Amino acid sequence: MAWTQRYCEKLGAEFCQLMPNPVEVDEDGNNLPPILLAEFKAEKKDAKTVCCYAHLDVQPAHMDDGWESDPFVLTERNDKLYGRGSTDDKGPALSWLWVIEAHRKLGFPLPVNVKLMFEGMEESGSVGMFEAIQLLSKEGEFLNDVDFFCISDNYWIGETKPCLTYGLRGLAAFSVSVQCCEQDLHSGVMGGSVHEAMTDLVHLMSSLVNSQGEITVPGIMDDVLPETPEEQELYKTIDFDLEDYKSASKVKTVSNKLLYDNKKDLLMARWRYPSLSLHGIEGGFSGAGTKTVM
């Protein structure tokens, strides 16, 4: 955050400060990172104002996740830059500053007022952002005069053509716990005589979605609008290649299969319809090796 603040100041931001996170500390008592606010003004007095959102925090990364180089050392390989956050979301965040820097160096005035709002808690649920937006939207505050918002935290659908994302499906996250007894049990001694939480949990989770990616939760599609002919036509001109997608998603050398064999249905599954993913499971033992605990 401090590095990015200094970069903004170097580029001549008319306003730049680190706003303390309104929530202050997390549930474990750790201090939460501030929110960076900066503004670069256009020369025109009546210029519109766009606020660009991004986040500077990242997901954890380890070499055994499949990285070919240190994820926290930006590495160039085959004309591409590899590093945690290079696409999500430090690279896109920096791109706004590079655009401003290019205008400065070329002597071009900014066509709009640019405000930046960068957070450091997106990967942890954006703790404090909702409270910050409420505060900053009040009369005379940082966000009150914003005409447009641009979220630079999304992806291209290929490697050849940029895209503008104008809508997202949204996100809901849930966790579930199943308990079978008051303490760990030895599977060699007790297995087969009591209900096992891990077995029940796997059975429960497997009932949510089938092998074709179809969600089996009753009513999940009730609020999804039916496709229209006009909407279906939009997909015909989208530049998207299924084989390239297999390579990019790293399934080509494993199963070489996707859930759909045509562009329209696959993109609709990614963008239009709800999906259900299982992100993790823990039982009596989750470490390396074998342990006879249930």
Closest CA to 216 of 208, 224, 205: 208
Asked about 57 being catalytic, the answer comes back as yes
Structure tokens given for 276: 């259900």
My answer on whether omega of the bond before 89 falls inside 30° of 0, hence cis, is yes
Catalytic residue among 28, 43, 76, 122: 122
Q: Reduce the DSSP state of residue 124 to 3 states and report it.
A: helix
Cβ contacts of residue 193 below 8 Å, gap of 6+? none
Backbone angles phi, psi at 150, to 5 degrees: -130, 120
Could you confirm whether 14 is annotated as catalytic? no
What is the 3-state composition of the chain as percent helix, strand, coil, each rounded to the nearest 5? 25, 15, 60
Options 26, 57, 184, 214, the catalytic residue? 57
Secondary structure (3-state) at 117 = strand
Task: Please give the sequence-ordered ranges of beta strands (E in DSSP) within the chain, or none if there are none.
Answer: 15-19, 35-40, 49-55, 75-77, 80-82, 113-119, 148-151
Which residues, in sequence order, are CB contacts of 113 under 8 Å at separation 6+? Answer: 39, 40, 41, 42, 47, 48, 49, 50
Catalytic center residues: 57, 122
